[in-house]
Structure 1
Amino acid sequence: MDVLVTGSHGTVGTALTEQLPEAYDYTLLDRRRVDGDHPHATDEYETVVADVADYDAIRPAFDGQDAVVHLAGHTDPEGTFDDLLDTNIVGTHTVFEAARDAGVNTVVFASTNHVVGMYEVANEPDIYFGTDIEVDHESPVRPDSEYASSKAAGEVFGRQYAENHGMNVYALRIGSVRDPAYDHPFGDAERGVDEGRWARDSDDYRTQAARMSCLWQSRRDIAHMVDCSLQDDSVRFDVFYGLSDNERAWFDIDHAREKIGYDPYDSADDWDMPPR
């Protein structure tokens, strides 16, 4: 299967090529080149350098593709509307339109848990230590930021293109996926230590670790979820939560199990301390 990956050089894009290196014939699309020790600093993959908001620049990359995994976007939850407009809103619409024009029927869209982030905000920090709250694919959208609203707009574009143009669109509301050094449930807490923001025996550390134990999705689990989406042909449009099998999570992953066969390999509950 030929798969175009936008925003390919980021955290999730590198997880795909790292975890599923031979499963697909990838074409990588990113607005920058990489070199040095970046995993894509190689001639192994065809790479297109272009901005997703530039239709004419990206459109040729869609020809001959079987699917698109749309990861490109501004990912800062504190981003302003002006920060987000070109990449997250214009760029996402441009990707759907290029896919439609090229006859690409499957789009996997990287949405975010922040689309329903106010469930967390309204109940933090208690929600990190066990809760009866459950948020599923039918729960009302409750964006916690301009970033979240920009991703909600992307989901709406996805439904539009699915229902108007017969595309298969998988909106993944991804939890917390991290680069390899912090790919574990203590990742955010340990990064805070490494950056000098708190000590390991602090309340901040414990809160960050508790939060991550709810929201963590390992690199191999996000790759598996994308793989399940690409292999499925039963969905017209649907929303799936991207988490590992974490007991204290308030997001429902049973829907993804039932609809696309997502069966996480990892769980935050298997960890009681960070790697040393």
Structure 2
Amino acid sequence: MILSFSILIIVFQNFNQALTQYFFIIIGLCMIYLTSKFFQTQPYYNKYINMIRGGTWTMIIGLCFVNLLSYIFGSDKSFFSIILLVVGICSFIIGIIFCRKFYNSHIQGIYSRFKEKKIYDKKQYNHEHNIESSNGSENEEKSQLLFENEEMSTNSDNELENKGKSKGKKDNRDSEEDDNDSDDDNEYDSDENSLLLNDRVSQKISAFGSIQEIFNTVVINESIVVFKDYNDFELACRFIWNNETKEAFYLIKELYDECTKNFKKN
């Protein structure tokens, strides 16, 4: 590519000297576009080759920018040659660092979207098959059993403490309980009626609250796109070079199935 650019510069210098002044601007714009596409695709399997290539392309962009400044402020100034060297080295290092960070962030984005998609599919499956409600009922039953066991333990302790009391007090309590049975029955009936009324009122309030929540909630069911480009699948599977376990191949199969869903025509 650099050789082709050099040939084009020589051609422009022979035919039209004025166009060579703008040629570096065109090269800079083209290199910005090509470098952005290069960072997205990472075409080489070796990451070090990708980083060196990315650093080289960013260095060309930096040199074109310095050449543009020299054209604006005067190309006869000697310090532009020093700036050209410094900017070339710095832009090469920045390109290597940026290429590596962009690759890592791009891979992490693919994995995070894939994980989010799997969680969403699992929740959707559980909602369709009413699995969440069953899990909730099981948790409630477990909590109720734990609560009943705690009550049984406290009641057993209280019974052990009360066994040492005299029988006379027990007889008096029995007589008092016989007198108060009728009052307790009436109070129990009234409490039961009040509980039923409270349950009905709470059901109406909860139903009204759920309706208001549905009205006020704004939720848009947008599909989660794991792979924005079909080249992302190859990037996401490069870990297989260092990991050849069954779990790794199973993950690749899951990624492949998801990729075929995103790009059915390709």
TM-score norm. by structure 2 comes to 0.24
Structure number having the greater strand percentage: 1
TM-score norm. by structure 1 comes to 0.23
Pick the structure with greater CA Rg.
Answer: 2
Structure number having the greater helix percentage: 2
